[in-house]
Amino acid sequence: MGGWVEGDPAGNRRFLDLPGPFRPERGGVLPGVRVAYETWGTPDEDGGNAVLVEHALTGDSHVVGPPGPGHATGGWWDGLIGPGRALDTDRFFVVCANVLGGCQGTTGPSSRAPDDGPWGARFPEVTVGDQVRVEAALADALGIGRWACVVGGSMGGMRALEWAVAMPDRVASLFFLASGAVATADQIGTQTTQQAAIRADPRWAGGGYPRTDPPVDGLGIARRIAHLTYRSAYELGERFGSEVQDDGRFAVASYLDHHADKLARRFDAGSYVLLTETMNSWDVGRGRGGVAAALSRVTARALVAGVDSDRLYPLELQQQVADALGVPLQVIASPYGHDGFLIEVDAVGALLHGLLTP
């Protein structure tokens, strides 16, 4: 139940222990950071063929591959990486790391603190900038001075954009998908409501719950709320309508129950609260003179794309970034809403292939 913890099967993960201390922007200190990551392909001698793939909120380093020991689910972007795929492993060395604050092998709230108990609510706040600093340390350790491309959608798009703004000389090309340059009131409102659902679960215990008894009810409600923003009203209507199952539940409620239960088996509630707060604080222009000034720092060849039915990260958010970077917005047609960026693999792959083709 919950996320990956030390002692669980490693699966395809590799681990890097970064020397501490690590000091997040907003205060606190971590004595050290362990990063869990996976790779595909072979790096060039200078690491110039390396591509960084950034996962979204409940993703992890397992971008492609089957489920198995250590991996509760199969790859979240299957079909994108491999020989002949958009991220051709005969050409590219692909890296994906679990994010700082996550629960799939990288240091986060469920990780062991210096007192040998889990960090829990004592884990310091982290920003997207903090997460990218950890990824930069991983890149240094892997001998990667400059990414051939940084690819990310949703929360992953935030880190991809932060890379291109904070360290423009280390990003040759940028694939920014289904995300925005700054959190909106709608996103913050939705995510704080999800956090409230988790905190209202008596098992939350102020964030100090044991792994054996996590706040699964609150996390399940949070996931139900989130999943409604990930899909479009059209798709839900076409798929479920007002159908009632033999057990008396609306079909759409049964569908949401399934996703709530599925997430509770593989994700930590503390990470969910921490990472949604990281997303709430996202603003690429903070401390940089505003969004336009920040985006003027980008030197990477950029592709900006969005999903036409996305109600969580609507197209106007990607249009703002595309206009600032001076590139056309690429629109992916999909009935699936925000999740279209994960489901429409062929369309995403075609755009990515075009960006990476000389």
- DSSP alpha helix (H) spans, 201-268: 216-230, 233-239, 251-264
* Active-site hit among 60, 268, 310, 339: 310
* Active-site hit among 154, 271, 281, 309: 154
Cβ neighbors of 7 (< 8 A, separation 6 or more) are none
Q: Based on the residue annotation, tell me whether 338 is a catalytic residue of this protein.
A: yes
Report the 10 Å Cβ neighbour count for 82.
Answer: 17
Q: Based on the residue annotation, tell me whether 310 is a catalytic residue of this protein.
A: yes
For the record, the structure tokens of 313 come out as 């990260």
Q: DSSP E strands: which ranges in the chain?
A: 14-18, 33-40, 50-54, 93-97, 149-153, 173-177, 301-307, 329-332
Q: Based on the residue annotation, tell me whether 154 is a catalytic residue of this protein.
A: yes
Can you tell me the distance from the alpha carbon of 109 to that of 41, in angstroms, rounded to the nearest whole number? 31
* Active-site hit among 130, 283, 338, 339: 338
Can you tell me the distance from the alpha carbon of 190 to that of 145, in angstroms, rounded to the nearest whole number? 38
Peptide bond into 21 cis (omega under 30): yes
Can you tell me the distance from the alpha carbon of 203 to that of 209, in angstroms, rounded to the nearest whole number? 6
Taking only Cα atoms into account, the Rg of the chain, rounded to an integer number of angstroms, comes to 19
CA dihedral 210, 26, 195, 260 (to 10 degrees): -60
Can you tell me the distance from the alpha carbon of 262 to that of 256, in angstroms, rounded to the nearest whole number? 10
Catalytic residues: 154, 310, 338
